[in-house]
């Protein structure tokens, strides 16, 4: 178990070779040796056992190494190796007291520890005091000779000379002056050096290359204590500034910085114990490596718990931090500087390499905070871009120009933020984040642009629907030969208008030519689709349209007046015309003809179906020939895409059309026959012949009697007057029953009116009020007649038809009856 003298000295290595790590660490800590850098010196002393080594060190350095009690006999006092801080000497000096050589305690053959401790002292110490008795100088079998041999032999195992100062302290000096003793001693030393077997590389290397040899002599401590103390005090002065040039250890080499002393000593002892050669340069590098790494790790540890850093890291979690780069640089610089100070004395190569590692690790450690900050900057810049762009767009500025302006300002803002976040110690690259920001800005611009373009597109699509749908419907209503030409014209015109307006509207988007072309093409395609869709929709209503067309042609004359079936009309021709018109409408509706390709659909339809239409009038069906061109499901010249009604569907439609219009034709034929019957008021010829044969006698009687003839004439005149007055043919125009009712209601007023007029004419004394009264009566008669009409079974059209008044033939119609009645009164008054 290693001993620790808490007063002054510490056992570094015990007698069994155990290294007192804790003791050394405690020594380093309490004496603050670690802070000394290279400003420290190690002085070791070796020599025979009980030769006064400890006594000398204690007087020389004011240490407290254990000394032998002279009154108890000469025995081993110091076991192993001890160290102590030399009080009052600058620079910091460590005294190392080694176990004495030649000790009887270990026996003559056990020199292992002796060699190990000698090698350790040479590797660690800058100055080695070699304690020797004065009377041993020049003696062949002096006690110090084996010791020197050992020293010189192990020296070669250190690989390179350290220029250790060997200070020979001659104890118990005699009256012989030192001037005489020293050459003899040096000669002895040289002899020993020459005798020592050396490696090939140092065969001819002089002793001076390895050691500075100094000699001093002291009086006996026991016999001339005062002189001894004085001489020691003088010698003590040599240890002040010992490491400065010219000092005792001014030439020393391969010094390990103080902070690495503990580790270095441990490693050296370990190597020595393992009986390996000591490669001091490599050892120095190794110590530097370990120590620099330790220092760097210590700095990293302190950085991670640095209050300023923790505050900065916390702040950056929440948002951008102004002056981030400056603050972080300062924090890092503190620890890097500390490293530089502490690692300053270690091997430069190692130090720099470890410094780089420290920087790299420290930067890696703080980099997430930097990235976090960049993330905040990017987010902020993007949000600013969005709001600024929206504001500019709300002011009515163009998208492309606005996006450019906003991008520029936001990128500048981001760049400034990045510059503020940059630290001196690193060349961090924000370009990826900047690229991401740029991509985000572009994506947002693109999404806004797409939304705006979609809005515009929808607007113009609606405009196209508005401008195409109703006109196209109207054109299909009046379907004829020019329908598709008109539709094409309409499509071209409206598409051109929409495309032109759309081009103007999107000019502020600054789209490339191909995109604009594509959008315009989309708009054109949309217009075409609208038309095609409308055409399909209208094609679905083709049967209704055909029937309407048929009805329009069939029920109206050339002046578009409703047709009255009087029997003079050629129903067959009219039916054919109506069917032709309907078929033409069908031929228009069967295909989309937006590409102006001629086709023969109309001819096919007419040649295949028109004979069938005539058959409607004649109520005859013709069988379909086997080479029927309408038995196909496609038109020859029309693609399926443009087909609205297939040939087969045409045939089916035509069949339904015929069936559904047949009733109309039949009705017309019936109406015509009824009209003929109602107008044929003469009795049948056989009745006339019978009347002539049977009434011949009465007829002759009438002819012979002029009075009967006169009465007959008067009756004829009255009948004729009544016929004209009551407009008998007109009343029967709407059917027999209606005619009879109308005539019966008008008969009595007409007779009364006629009789009154005749009597007035006979009297010949008309009053001035007479014309007015006549007009009034005539109007009342007319009014009474018209009041009956709305309740009669006469169709609505007849209500609005012209009505001849008895007093002047002025036209009236029931919707404006009241107004016209007033007009009538005024006109009658005027007349």
Ligand X SMILES: Nc1nc2c(ncn2[C@@H]2O[C@H](COP(=O)(O)OP(=O)(O)OP(=O)(O)O)[C@@H](O)[C@H]2O)c(=O)[nH]1
Q: Which of 33, 68, 272, 519 binds ligand X (CB under 6 A)?
A: 68
When asked if residue 78 is in the footprint of ligand X (CB under 6 A), the reply is: yes
Per CB under 6 A, the segment of 45-53, 147-155, 701-709, 816-824 that binds ligand X is 45-53
In angstroms, the Cα distances linking 249 to 59, 125, 138, 153, 231 are 20, 10, 27, 21, 20
CB of 212 to ligand X, least distance (A): 24
CA atoms within 13 A on the CB side of 519: 25
Q: Using the rule CB under 6 A, which residue among 26, 220, 425, 459 binds ligand X?
A: 220
Within residues 419-478, the interface with ligand X by CB under 6 A covers none
Residue 313 is a binding residue for ligand X (CB under 6 A): no
Least CB distance from residue 142 to ligand X, whole Å?
16
Cβ distance to ligand X smaller for residue 11 or 483: 11
Q: What string marks each residue from 138 to 177 as x (binds ligand X by CB under 6 A) or -?
A: ---------------------------------xx-----
Cβ of residue 268: shortest distance to ligand X, in angstroms? 22
Site string for ligand X, 611-640 (x = CB under 6 A): ------------------------------
H helix or E strand, kind and range, residue 704: helix 696-704
Dihedral, 804, 810, 816, 822 alpha carbons, nearest 10? -120
Answer left, alpha or beta for residue 570, where phi above 0 means left and psi between -120 and 50 means alpha: beta
Judged by CB under 6 A, the residue of 39, 76, 227, 334 near ligand X is 76
Q: Are strands 9-13 and 127-133 parallel, antiparallel or unpaired?
A: unpaired
Binds ligand X (CB under 6 A): choice among 9, 51, 402, 801: 51
H helical segments located in 3-43? 21-31
Among 34, 54, 150, 445, binds ligand X (CB under 6 A): 54
| Piece of 105-113, 217-225, 420-428, 592-600 that binds ligand X (CB under 6 A) | 217-225
Does the annotation list 49 as a binding residue? yes
Q: How far is the CB of 121 from ligand X (least distance, A)?
A: 14
Retrieve residue 732's tokens.
């029967």
The residue from 12, 13, 20, 53 that contacts ligand X (CB under 6 A) is 53
Q: Answer yes or no: are the C-beta atoms of 378 and 433 closer than 8 Å.
A: yes
Question: Is there a binding annotation on residue 48?
Answer: yes
User: Which lies closer to ligand X via its Cβ, residue 173 or residue 549?
Assistant: 173
Q: Which of 423, 313, 318 is nearest to 368 (CA)?
A: 313
Q: Tell me what percent of the chain is helix, strand and coil, each rounded to the nearest 5.
A: 65, 5, 30
Q: Is 53 annotated as a binding residue?
A: yes
For residue 800, report the phi and psi dihedrals to the nearest 5 degrees: -90, 0
Nearer to ligand X, 219 or 731 (CB): 219
Q: How far is the CB of 241 from ligand X (least distance, A)?
A: 27
Nearest CA to 539 out of 649, 657, 630, 660 is that of: 649
Question: Nearest 5 degrees, angle CA 151-CA 246-CA 248?
Answer: 35
Residues 165 and 209 sit within 8 Å (Cβ to Cβ): no
Taking CB under 6 A as the rule, does residue 80 contact ligand X? Answer: no
Q: Which stretch binds ligand X (CB under 6 A): 27-35, 44-52, 335-343, 801-809?
A: 44-52
6: closest CA among 82, 100, 94?
Answer: 82
Contacts of 513 (CB under 8 A, 6+ apart): none
* Of 22, 70, 341, 755, the one binding ligand X by CB under 6 A: 70
- Closest distance of CB 150 from ligand X, Å: 16
To ligand X, the closest distance from the beta carbon of 78 in angstroms equals: 3
Q: Are 219 and 231 in contact (CB under 8 A)?
A: yes
Q: Please identify, among the stretches 68-76, 296-304, 336-344, 767-775, the one whose residues bind ligand X according to the rule CB under 6 A.
A: 68-76
Residue 52 sits in the site that holds ligand X (CB under 6 A): yes
The sheet with strand 9-13 has its strands ordered as 9-13, 81-85, 92-98, 40-46, 127-133, 164-171, 211-217
Q: Out of 9, 10, 34, 55, point to the residue binding ligand X (CB under 6 A).
A: 55
Of 449, 463, 446, 444, nearest in space to 502 by CA:
463
Q: In this chain, which stretch among 149-157, 219-227, 371-379, 676-684 interacts with ligand X, using CB under 6 A?
A: 219-227
Shortest distance, position 88 Cβ to ligand X, whole Å: 20
100 near ligand X, judged by CB under 6 A: yes
52 is in an annotated binding site: yes
Q: In terms of CB distance, is 219 or 642 closer to ligand X?
A: 219
Nearest C-alpha neighbor of 221 from the set 181, 178, 170: 170
For residue 71, the minimal CB distance to ligand X (Å) is: 8
824: exposed, middle or buried (C-beta count within 10 Å: 0-12, 13-18, 19+)? buried
Cα torsion at 102, 104, 107, 113 (round to 10°)? Answer: -50
Q: Is 636 annotated as a binding residue?
A: no
Member of 77, 144, 742, 801 binding ligand X (CB under 6 A)? 77
Nearer to ligand X by Cβ, of 58 and 259: the residue is 58
**618 marked as binding residue:** no
Question: HEC string of 455-469?
Answer: HHHHHHHHHHHHHHH
For the CB of residue 53, give the shortest distance to ligand X in the complex, in Å. 4
CA distance 70 to 218: 19
> Per DSSP, what are the bridge partners of residue 216?
169
285: tokens are 């590098």
Task: Select from 31, 34, 50, 63 the one that contacts ligand X (CB under 6 A).
Answer: 50
The residue range among 70-78, 118-126, 387-395, 479-487 that interacts with ligand X, by the rule CB under 6 A, is: 70-78
Interacting residue with ligand X among 67, 510, 577, 637 (CB under 6 A):
67
**Among 47-55, 268-276, 578-586, 725-733, which window interacts with ligand X (CB under 6 A)?**
47-55
* Nearest approach, Cβ of residue 41 and ligand X (Å): 21
| Binding characters for ligand X, 107-126, by CB under 6 A (x = yes) | --------------------
Q: Which of 19, 113, 168, 221 binds ligand X (CB under 6 A)?
A: 221
Bridge partners for 98 per DSSP: 81
Paired strand residues for 214? 167
Residue 662 tokens, joined = 């047949």
DSSP codes, 336-376: HHHHHHHTTTS-HHHHHHHHHHHHHHHHHHHHHHHHHHHHH
Which stretch in 26-34, 69-77, 409-417, 768-776 sits in contact with ligand X by CB under 6 A?
Answer: 69-77
49 binds ligand X (CB under 6 A): yes
Residue with tokens 């047709």, as numbered in its chain: 563
How far is 33 from 96, CA to CA, in rounded Å? 15
Helix axes 647-679, 542-554, angle to 10 degrees: 30
Give the total of residues touching ligand X (CB under 6 A): 19
CB-nearer residue toward ligand X: 70 or 688:
70
> Which range, of 64-72, 141-149, 482-490, 594-602, touches ligand X by CB under 6 A?
64-72
Nearest approach, Cβ of residue 136 and ligand X (Å): 13
> How would you class 423 by CB atoms within 10 Å of its CB: exposed for 0-12, middle for 13-18, buried for 19 or more?
buried
Give the shortest CB-363-to-ligand X separation in angstroms. 54
106 lines the binding site for ligand X (CB under 6 A): no
Residue 56 Cβ, how far from ligand X at the closest point, in Å? 7
The helix or strand, by DSSP H or E, that contains position 93, with its residue range, turns out to be: strand 92-98
Positions touching ligand X (CB under 6 A) are 49-55, 67-68, 70, 76-78, 100, 171-172, 220-222
Annotated binding site for GTP: 47-54
Annotated binding site: 47-54
């Amino acid at each position: 178990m290693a001993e620790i003298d808490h007063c002054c000295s510490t056992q570094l290595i015990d007698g069994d070779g155990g290294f007192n790590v804790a003791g050394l660490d405690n020594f380093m800590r309490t004496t603050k040796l670690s802070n000394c850098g290279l400003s420290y010196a190690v002085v070791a002393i070796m020599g025979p056992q009980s030769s006064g080594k400890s006594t000398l060190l204690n007087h020389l350095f004011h240490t407290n190494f254990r000394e032998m009690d002279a009154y108890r006999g000469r025995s081993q006092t110091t076991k192993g190796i001890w160290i102590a801080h030399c009080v009052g000497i600058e620079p910091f000096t460590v005294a190392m007291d080694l176990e004495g050589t030649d000790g009887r305690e270990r026996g003559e053959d056990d020199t292992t520890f002796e060699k190990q401790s000698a090698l350790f002292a040479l590797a660690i110490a800058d100055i080695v005091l070699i304690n020797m008795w004065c009377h041993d100088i020049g003696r062949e079998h002096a006690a110090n000779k084996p010791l020197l041999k050992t020293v010189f032999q192990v020296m070669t195992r250190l690989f390179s000379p350290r220029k250790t100062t060997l200070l020979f302290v001659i104890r118990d000096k005699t009256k012989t002056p030192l001037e005489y003793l020293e050459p003899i001693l040096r000669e002895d030393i040289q002899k020993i050096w020459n005798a020592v077997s050396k490696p090939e590389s140092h065969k001819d290397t002089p002793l001076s290359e390895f050691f500075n040899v100094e000699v001093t002599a002291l009086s006996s401590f026991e016999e001339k204590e005062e002189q001894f103390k004085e001489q020691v005090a003088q010698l003590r002065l040599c240890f002040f500034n010992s490491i400065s040039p010219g000092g005792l250890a001014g030439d020393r080499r391969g010094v390990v910085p103080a902070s690495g002393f503990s580790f270095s000593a441990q490693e050296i002892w370990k190597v020595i114990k393992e009986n390996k050669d000591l490669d001091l340069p490599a050892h120095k590098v190794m110590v530097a490596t370990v120590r620099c790494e330790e220092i760097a790790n210590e700095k990293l540890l302190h950085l991670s718990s640095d209050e300023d850093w923790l505050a900065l890291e916390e702040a950056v979690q929440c948002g951008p931090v102004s002056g981030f780069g400056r603050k972080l640089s300062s924090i890092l610089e503190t620890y890097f500087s500390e490293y530089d100070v502490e690692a300053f004395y270690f091997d430069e190569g190692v130090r720099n390499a470890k410094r780089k590692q420290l920087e790299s690790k420290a930067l890696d450690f703080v980099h997430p905070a930097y990235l976090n900050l960049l993330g905040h900057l990017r987010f902020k810049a993007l949000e600013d871009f969005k709001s600024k762009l929206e504001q500019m767009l709300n002011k009515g500025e163009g998208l492309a120009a606005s996006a450019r302006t906003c991008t520029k300002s936001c990128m500048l803002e981001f760049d400034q933020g990045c510059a503020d976040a940059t630290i001196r110690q690193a060349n961090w690259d924000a370009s990826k984040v900047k690229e991401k920001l740029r991509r985000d800005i572009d994506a947002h611009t693109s999404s806004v642009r797409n939304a705006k373009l979609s809005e515009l597109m929808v607007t113009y699509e609606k405009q196209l629907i508005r401008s195409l749908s109703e006109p196209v419907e109207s054109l299909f209503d009046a379907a004829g030969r020019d329908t598709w030409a008109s539709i094409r014209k309409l499509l071209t015109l409206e598409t051109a208008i929409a495309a032109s307006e759309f081009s103007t509207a999107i000019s502020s988007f600054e789209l490339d030519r191909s995109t604009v072309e594509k959008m315009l093409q989309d708009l054109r395609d949309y217009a075409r689709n609208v038309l095609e869709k409308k055409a399909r929709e209208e094609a679905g209503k083709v049967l209704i349209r055909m029937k309407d067309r048929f009805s329009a042609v069939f029920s109206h004359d050339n002046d578009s007046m409703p047709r009255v079936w009087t029997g003079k009309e050629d129903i067959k021709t009219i039916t054919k015309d109506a069917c032709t018109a309907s078929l033409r409408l069908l031929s228009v509706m069967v295909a989309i003809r937006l590409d102006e390709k001629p086709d023969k659909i109309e001819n096919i339809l007419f040649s295949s179906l028109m004979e069938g239409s005539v058959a409607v009038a004649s109520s005859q069906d013709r069988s379909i020939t086997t080479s029927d061109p309408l038995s196909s499901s496609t038109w020859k010249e029309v693609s399926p895409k443009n087909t609205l009604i297939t040939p087969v569907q045409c045939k089916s439609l035509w069949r339904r059309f015929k069936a559904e219009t047949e009733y109309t034709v039949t009705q017309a034929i019936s109406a015509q026959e009824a009209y003929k019957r109602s107008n044929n008021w003469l009795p049948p010829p056989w009745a006339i012949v019978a009347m002539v044969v049977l009434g011949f006698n009465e007829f002759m009687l009438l002819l012979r009697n002029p009075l009967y003839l006169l009465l007959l004439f008067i009756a004829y005149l009255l009948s004729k007057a009544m016929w004209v007055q009551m407009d008998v043919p007109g009343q029967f125009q709407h059917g027999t029953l209606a005619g009879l009712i109308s005539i019966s209601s008008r008969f009595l007023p007409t007779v009364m009116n006629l009789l009154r007029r005749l009597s007035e004419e006979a009297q010949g004394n008309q009053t001035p009020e007479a014309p007015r009264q006549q007009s009034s009566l005539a109007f009342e008669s007319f009014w009474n007649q018209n009041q009956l009409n709305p309740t009669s079974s006469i169709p609505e059209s007849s209500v609005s038809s012209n009505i001849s008044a008895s007093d002047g033939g002025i036209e009236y119609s029931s919707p404006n009856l009241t107004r016209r009645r007033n007009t009538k009164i005024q006109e009658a008054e005027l007349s």
